[in-house]
Structure 1
C-alpha cells in the first residue's frame, strides 16, 4: 500500500481576477456557486485511494479561511503558515518536510487550491497511473491538451509512450511567448502543465538540494525550528525561512530535472487564472455571452458579464469582460485579461484599499462592512457568527456607538457585562476596554458608528483574543 499525502498550495492572491478576488480575499475562498475552489479541491481528493490528511500551505492572513472551510467539511489537515510568500518551490519544501516526519518517504501529491478539474474519477485514474513511475524516483506531472496558444501556462514536450499512459518529458518550457506557444501547438506533441505533481518525498528534497541548495537549506532550517500556536497552526522559523530565494517549482526543478514524466489528464481543466479562463469555462448563451447576476444584455456578443450587487446593462458591445462589485467595476477587453494585475499595481501605488479588501471584510468571528466613511466618522455593519467573540480591545482615537439590529449582543465594557437587544444601543468611550460577543444560536448584527480624530482600522489594541491575535 502506497499512502498519498496531498500538499495543497493555498497562498495565491488571484490578482488577475480583481475586483472579485482581493489580496485578503483571494479566488480560492470565493464561492462561485458550487462551493469555493478550495472546497472543490478538498472534495476532489477525498475519495482518492490511500489518501491521507492533507497538508495546507497558506499565509498568515488566510489561516482562518482555511481552518473554517476545513471545519465545515469535517476535514483534518496540517496547516503551515508561510512567513512570506516565496512561490511554490519553498512552499512545497515546507509541506514535504512536514510529511516526512509522518511517514518514511511517502508519495506526495501537490495540488493548487484554485484550479478546476472536470472529473474527479478521471483525475483519480490519472494519479493511479502515475504511481509506479513516482515510486521509482521520478516526478510525474499531469498534462492537459492545449486549446489555444496561451502564454500563461507551462508547456510539456513529450516523447513516445514509455508505458501505459506514461510519457517521458523531453522539454519543459514555462510561460513561453504567444508566438512560441503557436509553434509548440503546430508540432503537436505538447501539453499544458496543470501544476499538479506526484513524487516521493525524497525525490523532491534530493532534487531541490541539488538544483536549489539555498531554498533547500532555508526551508529545512525554517521547518526544523518551527513553532505551533495554541490553535494548531505551524509557523516555520521566520528568520531562517526568509533566507530562501523565491522560485516556482516549474523554473527551479521541472525545467532542469531529467526525471520528469507525464500522465495525460483527459478531462476539462482550468487554472481559472484570468477572467478569460472563466469565460471559457462557463456555458455560453446563444450570443456567446456568459452572464452571472443581475444583468440585461442587448445586441451584445461574446462577453462575460458578472454582477454581484447592482444591475449591469450592456448594449452593442463585443468581446469584453465586465465584473461589478460593491466598490469597484472592471471593464476590460477579453484579449487584455492577463494584464489586469498591472491595473491592480496602479491601485496599490495610489494607495487604494480596493486592491486589498472588499467593502465586506471577513474575520474569524464573522465579518464587517463599511457602509459610509468620512473625515472623523465611519459607519459599519458588524455580523458576529453564533458563539463567536471579538477580542478584548480598546481604541486610542475613536469612540463607538453600537446599535443592535438583529440578535442579542453580549457587551463587556471595563469588566462590566451588558445585554443589548434589538433596537437598543450602547456607547464605548475612547480608550475604554470593551468586547462584543454573540452567545446565541443566530447571527448577531450590529450597526457601529465610529467617531474621533482617527478612524483607521489600525487603531486597535488587542488585550485578549481567542484567535491568538493579541499584539
Structure 2
C-alpha cells in the first residue's frame, strides 16, 4: 500500500485575484466542480492507497477537513506546520510520522494544486515506479514537455525516453528554471522532462537520504514531531523546534545530491497551473482559443480568458487578443497572457500599498462556515454570515462594537449573556456592547444571517473568546 502525502500550505500568488494567501488556489475550483485539493486527494485514492497524510498550516486545517468531508474521505493524519519551511522539512516530518507505524511502507509525495486530467494513466505511472521505490530508489515523475516553459525546473535523462509510463529511467541531473532560449533548446533535445515535484520512495529510503545529505534537518524536525501536540484530530508540530528548521526544498536538500534516483516519464497531461496562461491552456476553449467562466461574454476575441467569480458581475470582452481578465467582487485583473508570470509583481505592489486585496479573500472562511463584508463605513459594517449545520461560533464578547443579527435562512440558536433562544427567518436579535454571546446552527441546513456592526473599531481582532469548540486562542 502507498500512503499519499499531500502538501497544501502554499499561497499561489500567480493566480491572484482568485488565489490569495488567506485562500490559495488548491482550495478553489479552478477547472470543473472539484477544487484542486479535492481532485488531488481523489486521484491518490483507491485500493492501492492508504488514507492521505496531509501537511498544511493552521489557517487551512478546517478547510482541508471540510473539503475532504464533502467527498466522503477521511485523512490518515493532518500535520500542522507552525510556519512555512518549504518542502524538505515537510516531507521529512511526514516520513518521521509514518516511520512509527509503517517504516518499510511507500510514500507518494505530491503538491495538492496540480491538474492531471487522466487519473488512470497517472496511477499506472505510479505503479511503474513501485518496484524501484521498494528497492531503495528515490523515484521522481518527469513530464514530457509540450513547449519551452520557463516556469518549471527540468530533469535531464541520459537519452530520450523511447517509451512513456512503462518503466523507470536513471536521472542524470536536475536543471534550474531556464530562460526561454535554453528552455526551447532542451525541449528540442528530447531528453529533458519537466520536474513535476512528485516523488515516490519508501519511508526508510528517504530517511536514509536525509541522514546522508541533509543531516542538520534531522534533529529539529524529529523534535518538532515528537513534541507535537494533538489538537482536535490534528497534530501541531512543535513551534519552537520547527522555528530552528532550515527553509529548504527537497530538491536542494536531497534530490540534487542523491545518486539513487530514477524517473518515470509521463506524457498523458499535467499542469501545475502556475499562472493564468496555464489555466487558459487547460480550459475548454472555442475555435478561436477563447475560454469563459461564470457570467462572461466574448465578442470577436482570440486566445483570451474571461472569468467572473461573481454571479452579479458580467464580464464582457470585445476585440481582445491574448488577454486575461479575472473579475472578483473586490478586485479585477486584466493582463496580457504573455505576462502571466508577472501577476506576482502586482501582488507585491498591492502589499506595498497595504491593500487588503493583496492577501485577503472576499469570503473569510472559518471552521464553522464563512462570512463576507457587504458594506463597510467609518463606524458600521454589514456582513453576510453562513453557518454550517451543527456548527457554532465561539462564546465571545467585544470591547468596541455592538451587533444586530437578522436571520434570513434557517434557524439560529442565540446566546446573549444568560438568555438563550431560537431565532427563525425574518427575526432578529440585538447584541449590546460587551455582552457575552454565541451563535449556533441547530438545524440540518446552512443558516444565513445578516450582521450589522456599529462601533468605534470593527476589526476581527476585537474578540474575547471564553469557549470555542475549535480550540482557537
* Pairwise same-fold verdict (TM > 0.5): yes
Q: Is the 8 A contact 1:162 1:168 kept in 2?
A: no
Partners of 1:152 and 1:378 in 2: CA distance: 42
| 1:111 lines up with 2:110 in the alignment | yes
Alignment of 1:57-456 (within 5 A): 57-77=55-75, 78-160=77-159, 165-229=167-231, 231-309=232-310, 310-456=313-459
Whole-angstrom CA distance in 2 between matches of 1:296 and 1:127: 41
Per the alignment, in what secondary structure is the counterpart of residue 301 of structure 2?
A: coil
Q: Which runs of 5+ in 1 are unaligned?
A: none
CA contact (8 A) 1:303 1:320 kept: yes
**Residues 407 and 449, structure 2, Cα contact 8 Å, conserved in 1:** yes
Residue 343 of structure 2 aligns to a residue in which SS? helix
1:405-452 CA-to-partner distances (Å, cap 9, x unmatched) read 222211101121022222221111111100011101222111111011
Native 8 Å contact 1:158 1:190 kept in 2: yes
1:215–1:244 Cα contact (<8 Å) kept: yes
SS in 2 for 1:269: coil
**3-state SS of paired residue (1:322):** strand
Q: Quick check: 2:401–2:454 contact (8 Å CA) kept in 1?
A: yes
- Return the alpha-carbon distance in structure 2 between the equivalents of residues 283 and 152 of structure 1: 22
> 1:264 Cα deviation (Å)?
1.3
Q: 2:451 and 2:162 mapped to 1: Cα distance? A: 66
Is the contact made by 2:103 and 2:204 (CA closer than 8 Å) also made in structure 1?
A: no
Q: Give the C-alpha shift of residue 48 in structure 1.
A: 5.1
The residue matched to 1:318 in structure 2 has which SS? Answer: coil
Deviation at 1:392, TM superposition (A): 0.3
TM-score (norm 1): 0.96
Indicate if the aligned counterparts of 2:364 and 2:371 stay in contact, CA closer than 8 A.
yes
Alpha-carbon distance in 2 for matches of 1:264, 1:15: 29
Within 1, Cα distance between the matches of 2:303 and 2:258? Answer: 41
Q: Deviations over 1:153-185 (max 9, x none)?
A: 120111257996221111111322223222212
**TM-score after normalising by structure 2:** 0.95
Aligned residue in 2 for 1:16: 14
In 2, the alpha carbon distance for the partners of 1:253 and 1:176 equals 21
Cα distance, 1:388 vs structure 2: 1.1
Q: Residue 47 of structure 1: SS of its match in structure 2?
A: coil
4+ runs deviating over 6 angstroms: none
Distance in 2 separating the partners of 1:193 and 1:201: 21
The Cα RMSD (Å) is 1.5
Aligned length: 466
The range that moved more, 35-44 or 55-64, is 35-44
1:173–1:255 contact (8 Å) kept in structure 2: no
Corresponding residue SS for 1:128: helix
Partner of 1:13, secondary structure, is coil
User: What is the distance in 1 between the residues matched to 2:60 and 2:25?
Assistant: 12
In the alignment, the residues of structure 1 paired with residue 334 and residue 94 of structure 2 have an alpha-carbon distance, to the nearest angstrom, of 39
Is contact 2:288-2:302 (8 Å) kept?
A: yes
Work out the CA distance in 2 between the residues paired with 1:87 and 1:179.
Answer: 29
Does the 8 Å contact 1:140/1:198 carry over to 2? yes
Q: Which runs of 5+ in 2 are unaligned?
A: none
8 A contact 1:154–1:176 mirrored in 2: yes
